[in-house]
A and B are shown apart, each in its own frame.
Chain A
Amino acid sequence: MADVLEVDGVSLRFGGVLALDGVSFAVREGEIVGLIGPNGAGKTTCFNAVTGVYRPTAGEIRFRGQRLAGRKRYQITKLGIARTFQNIRLFREMTALENVLVGADARHGTSVPGALVRAPRHWAEERAGRELAMDLMRFVGIDRRAGELARNLSYGEQRRLEVARALATGPTLLCLDEPAAGFGPAEKEQLLKLIRDIRDRGVTVLLIEHDMRLVMGVTERIVVLEFGRTIADGTPAEVRDDPRVVAAYLGVPTDAA
Chain B
Amino acid sequence: MTRDAAIITEGLTRKFGGFTAVNNVDLRVQYGEIFGFLGPNGSGKTTVIKMLTGLLPVTAGAAWVDGLDVRTEAETVRQRIGYMSQKFSLYDDLTVAENLQFYGRVYGMPNGKLRERIDYIVGTHGLGPYLGRQAGKLSGGWKQRLALSCALLHEPKIMFLDEPTASIDPVARRQLWDLLFELAGQGITLFVTTHYMDEAERCGHVAYIYFSRLIADGAPDALKRLPEVTPPGTHRVEISAPELTRALRAMRELPVVRSATVFGQAIHALVDEQVSAGELQEYLKRHGVVITEVRPLAPSLEDVFVQLTYKHQEEAEMAHA
Interaction A to B: no
Spell out A's residues near B (CB within 8 Å).
none
